[in-house]
């Protein structure tokens, strides 16, 4: 049985002491995000199952929108990150420790206000 890379990322975040819910589609993610209590959302920008701009708009429309951390292999990751209002981005392959450091900063409240651009 092949494991999805998202499961590996989730396991690494969980090993750093964070609670994790791994989902594979925006359809699965939005009900969880709407329920609240989410400190951040990590999105793979080039996962074919995710329309990132639309997902970011839906997240931003939530009353207490959690920040987005973008993970991408695209050389356009900085532009994509700015367009969706991501709090941070990492280029793949990324260091799991760096991702956990970003999540730790977000959880401690060191995050800017974000807004999705058209």
The conformation of residue 76, written as its DSSP 8-state character, comes to: T
pLDDT of residue 115: 46
- For 66-92, write each residue's pLDDT tens digit: 999 998 888 888 888 998 999 999 988
The residues near 75 (Cβ < 8 Å, ≥ 6 apart) are: none
Instruction: Report the C-alpha gap between 43 and 24 in whole angstroms.
Output: 10
User: Which alpha helices (H) appear in the chain, and where do they start and end?
Assistant: 5-15, 26-35, 52-60, 77-84, 96-107
**Rg of the chain (C-alpha set):** 13
- For 20-40, write each residue's pLDDT tens digit: 888 877 778 888 889 988 889
User: Across residues 49-69, what is the average pLDDT?
Assistant: 86
CATH number at 5-107: 3.40.50.2300
Instruction: Report the C-alpha gap between 21 and 110 in whole angstroms.
Output: 22
H or E element in which residue 68 lies: strand 68-72
Domain definitions of the chain by residue range = 5-107
């Amino acid at each position: 049985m092949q494991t999805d890379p998202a499961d590996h990322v989730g396991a690494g975040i969980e090993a750093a002491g964070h609670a994790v819910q791994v989902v594979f589609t925006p359809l699965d993610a939005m009900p969880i995000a709407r329920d609240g209590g989410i400190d951040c959302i990590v999105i793979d920008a080039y996962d074919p199952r995710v329309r990132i701009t639309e997902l970011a708009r839906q997240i931003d429309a939530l009353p207490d929108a959690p920040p987005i951390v973008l993970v991408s292999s695209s050389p356009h990751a900085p532009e994509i990150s700015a367009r969706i209002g991501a709090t941070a981005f990492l280029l793949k392959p990324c260091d799991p420790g760096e991702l956990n450091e970003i999540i730790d900063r977000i959880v401690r409240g060191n995050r800017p206000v974000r807004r999705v651009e058209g």
